[in-house]
Amino acid sequence: MEYSKNPFTPTFGSIPPFLAGREHILRDINRGFINGPGDPNLSTIFTGARGTGKTALLSLLSETALEHGWIAANVSAMPGMLEDIIERTKEAADSYLSQPHARINGVQIGPVGIDWTYAQEVQGNWRTRMNGIFKQLEKHDIGLLITIDEVVMSRKLV
């Protein structure tokens, strides 16, 4: 009797060797990465019971985005999520984003010294800061995939 390994590997978030029944999702979102902004496949919500592979699917889609030259910011729906999106995006796009730079403000001859002024990071609300990041990524023709895991949907009866 030949034994085959069970493809179900409940490792919560790790990408299993086979994602059963996800071919059409992967195909559609792959098409979205190729088509770029405006493709309806780039705005998707996955729902399902715990343990059905949503987190693993998000992980795989993040890897697929990277293969298409995108970057990915993966976060969980929890307090501070918006700031986490900015931080994860900056981390993933570090080599593409301009960094605050220093400028010589003054020179002292004796004892020798230099006075530096450092440019401050862009301030503003979340949308203003993200728009700044989007503009910098656009210069490099790089897309950003944002995945949000553990979103809790609730229905209130009226």
156 belongs to a structural domain: no
The more confidently predicted of residues 138 and 99 is 138
For the entire predicted model, the pTM comes to 0.74
Tell me the pLDDT of the chain averaged across its residues.
84
Tally of domains within the chain? 1
For 33, the domain range is 22-149
What residue type is 76 in one-letter code? S
Mean pLDDT for the stretch of residues 83-96: 93
What confidence tens digit (pLDDT) does each residue in 50-81 have? 888 889 899 999 999 999 999 999 999 999 99
Candidate from 26-30, 43-47, 104-108, 135-139 with smallest mean pLDDT: 104-108
Do the domain assignments include residue 30?
Answer: yes
If pLDDT is split at 50, 70 and 90, which confidence band does 118 have? low
**17 belongs to a structural domain:** no
Contact by Cβ (8 Å): 9, 16: yes
